[in-house]
Amino acid sequence: GVKLGHDARHLFTVVMTGVGGTPMEAFSKRLTPEQVWDVVHFVRSLYLEAREEFLEKVRVEAPVQAAWR
């Protein structure tokens, strides 16, 4: 995961300033704040989509696993 967390503000900070000691560089000189927010919202949408898919899988598999006990 992201070292500072998954909320939008932290993702914005990571994209703007980078992460010291890692290959993640700052994009503040290449992207406007509006463009960075677009990136943040896109990344969050991927996380939320993956989370929804995981929860749906757990809901579907849980009754099957319970039946085997």
Which pTM does this prediction carry?
0.65
| Sequential pLDDT tens for the chain (69 residues) | 455 467 899 999 999 999 999 999 999 999 999 999 999 999 888 888 878 888 888 777 666 555 555
Residues 6+ apart with CB under 8 A from 64: none
pLDDT value at residue 53: 81
pLDDT value at residue 7: 87
Dihedral sign computed on CA atoms, order 7, 10, 16, 18: negative
